[in-house]
Amino acid sequence: MKKSSLFIGLFIAVLIGIAIIGFSKVSQANAKITEGSDNYTISETWELPDELDEISGIVWIDDHTLACVQDENGIIYLYDLDEKSIREEIPFSGNGDYEGIALHKTDLYVMQSDGLLYEIKDWRETNRTISSYQTGFKAANNMESLTYSAKDSSLLTAPKDKDANDEFKGIYKISMTSKRVDVNSPTYKIEMNAEALKNYRDKKLRKTFNPSEIAVHPKTNDIYVLEGKNPKLLILDEHGNLKNVYKLDEINFPQPEGMTFSADGDLYISNEAVIGAATIHLVDFKML
């Protein structure tokens, strides 16, 4: 065999080998970003306007309206699901890092990442009043979650990053009167060493799960806790026992940071804009 033919054959073999390795890596990458897509069904999706590219929190207002916050401007955006547009804007503060929003009766509450809580009383009225409260959390906790729990008669929140102990992420009650939290006494605990989280366990234990939002099912009182960093959803029963962990694929959930239930128990999850527009999905999870 001529040397030139041998070299050509070796060259082609190397190219084929590189192609096979490259294809394998692409396949593995595709499998990773689509992992979890069989856990749920998305029945409807809303692509959001540019104002909500950084959407960080949503809460159900009525059968066609969600109140939304984004993490840069102190504005509550009322988004009309039927009209697929922002119907109204309600300023409550200046620029900041606003992460969670909750509704209780006629009042809206917004959580800032450093634990500062805003109360917008009688939010539907023109003479609404706005107050802010130090809950006891700090910037190191990185607070991104907020919901009202009728069962607990309190707002609930969970630190995304640092908690009192690296072995758990606590879910804490915020008093409706003092707006304060006992930061050393969580009402519920998500144990970082839980068997259900073993596939997600990090060398730094507290990074195993990083809550970005929380919501309470209006009929079962199950507590849903969302993570946007490595997208997943945890479901705890009303006593705080971990029931299910759902992996979320990174195509439909590139950065899920907002979550709310309708009065009938329909689940809405919002995503910040990563590639393309920010979105809100109406999601139905399969029981594991």
DSSP per position, the chain:
--HHHHHHHHHHHHHHHHHHHHHHHHHHHHHHHHTTGGGEEEEEEEEPPGGGTTEEEEEEEETTEEEEEESSSSEEEEEETTTTEEEEEEE-SSS--EEEEEEETTEEEEEETTSEEEEEETTTSTT-EEEEEE-S--GGG-B---EEETTTTEEEE-BSS--SSTTEEEEEEE-TTT----TT--SEEEETT-GGGGGG--SSGGGG--EEEEEE-TTT--EEEEETTTTEEEEE-TTS-EEEEEE--TTT-SSEEEEEE-TT--EEEEE--SSS--EEEEEEEPP-
| Strand 75-80 with 65-70, pairing | antiparallel
Q: Show pLDDT as tens, one digit a residue, over the chain (288 residues).
A: 555 666 666 666 556 655 454 444 434 434 444 565 788 999 999 999 999 999 999 999 999 999 999 999 999 999 999 999 999 999 999 999 999 999 999 999 999 999 999 999 999 999 999 999 999 999 999 999 999 999 999 999 999 999 999 999 999 999 999 999 999 999 999 999 999 999 999 989 999 999 999 999 999 999 999 999 999 999 999 999 999 999 999 999 999 999 999 999 999 999 999 989 999 999 999 875
For residue 38, what pLDDT is reported? 84
99 and 181 share one domain:
yes
53 and 15 share one domain:
no
135 and 238 share one domain:
yes
**Nearest of 253, 237, 263, 226 to residue 146 by alpha carbon:** 226
192 and 262 share one domain:
yes
129 and 228 share one domain:
yes
DSSP bridge pairs for 271: 256, 279
CATH number at residue 174: 2.120.10.30
118 and 233 share one domain:
yes
21 and 158 share one domain:
no
User: Which residues contact residue 154 at a Cβ distance below 8 angstroms, ignoring those fewer than 6 apart?
Assistant: 148, 173, 174, 175, 176
Query: What's the CA gap between 250 and 33, in Å, rounded?
Result: 5
Amino acid code (one letter) for 92:
F
**pTM summary value:** 0.87
Counted domains in the chain: 2
Tokens of 63: 């059968």
Tokens of 5: 């033919």
128 and 180 share one domain:
yes
78 and 28 share one domain:
no
28 and 144 share one domain:
no
76 and 24 share one domain:
no
Q: What is the DSSP letter of 284?
A: E
For residue 275, what pLDDT is reported? 84
Segments forming the whole domain that contains residue 277:
40-285
16 and 126 share one domain:
no
For residue 18, what pLDDT is reported? 56
For residue 263, what pLDDT is reported? 96
Q: Could you tell me the end-to-end alpha-carbon distance of the chain, in angstroms, rounded to an integer?
A: 61
CA 251, 98, 147, 68 torsion-angle sign = negative
